[in-house]
Amino acid sequence: MKKLLLISFLLIIVSSCVPTKRMTYFQGIPVKKEAIYKFNNEPYRLQVNDMLYINIKAEKPELVALFSASETVGTSSGSGGNLYFNGYSVDRHGNIRIPYLGDVNVLGYTEKEVREKIETELVKYFKKPESIFVTVKLAGISFVVSGEVGSPGTINLAQNQVTIIDAISNAGDITEVGNREKVSIIRKTLDGVSRYEVDFTKIEIFESENFYLKPNDVIYVPPLKQKSWGTGTTGLQSFSTIVTIFSFVVSTVLLVKNL
């Protein structure tokens, strides 16, 4: 009977621990996939709620100022907060509103295509079209990280590209009870909502179609079953928890017997 109890006790401890293999990132040998490389380097196409930074330059600054959303647009002081008020947001109809040009539809366009479209519209107002220089960029990439990470929340990175690794790192990394094998990316596209899974324990993540995030992606890290059990992630934590429970049970039984 004692042996049975001891074996059961040990099995509970072992099964409640998180194996090192499930906590180790990027295992395996990388293999290059040209098709995935091409996919990850396709230009991003704008969607509703994207924020654009637009800078217009020409010979006559006073004329250029007429087409700016604010005096601060186009300056180096365009922080995330400034761009919220002074940048160009894609509305629910897929338009951005530029002074004197009115609504310009950019839904599904690339940055380059938007730049060319604005330059074409501006030609009507300038005597020397060759003097017009327009810059169009995404005003950073915003995404949400939730679930088993150190600092869940909305994050905006002033980068042209953001990887899933950037996202998790900026969210304080995955906790000990986070499932690194089934990290979800929830993405709203022009065709609807899609859900993808990436495995942080495999080196193949670097060749995943979803290695690079899109603006407004939601990353969710689910918990491991060890969290719901509440037994801990290491052998020592599990042992301490089980000993505490066992002591409580024994104390309760002895108390009942003495009544």
Each residue's pLDDT tens digit, 11-38: 454 455 566 776 688 787 766 655 555 5
Please check whether residues 59 and 38 belong to one and the same domain: no
214 residue type, one letter: K
Q: What is the mean pLDDT of residues 237-245?
A: 56
Please check whether residues 112 and 188 belong to one and the same domain: no
Q: What's the pLDDT tens digit per position in 86-138?
A: 789 999 999 999 999 999 999 999 999 999 999 999 988 887 878 899 999 98
Q: Is residue 255 part of a domain?
A: no
At 37 the pLDDT is 52
Domain containing 148 equals 20-42+140-226
In the 8-state DSSP scheme, what is residue 222? P
Reading phi first (left if > 0) and then psi (alpha if -120 to 50, else beta), residue 54 is in beta
Band (pLDDT 50/70/90 cuts) for residue 59 is confident
User: Which candidate, 24, 36, 40, 29, places its Cα nearest to that of 199?
Assistant: 24
Instruction: Count up the domains in the chain and report the number.
Output: 2
At 194 the pLDDT is 93
User: Which candidate, 15, 46, 7, 38, places its Cα nearest to that of 216?
Assistant: 46
Q: Which of 19-23, 43-47, 183-187, 227-231 has the lowest mean pLDDT?
A: 227-231
Please check whether residues 131 and 174 belong to one and the same domain: no
**CA pair distance 12, 177, nearest whole angstrom:** 17
Residue 10 pLDDT > 80: no
Angle (deg, nearest 10), helices 2-16 and 235-258:
140
At 74 the pLDDT is 38
Place of tokens 């730049």: 115
Please check whether residues 91 and 62 belong to one and the same domain: yes
Q: What is the mean pLDDT of residues 200-210?
A: 91
Q: Which residue has the higher pLDDT, 78 or 125?
A: 125
Q: Which of 138, 168, 196 is the last residue of a domain?
A: 138
Q: Is residue 252 part of a domain?
A: no
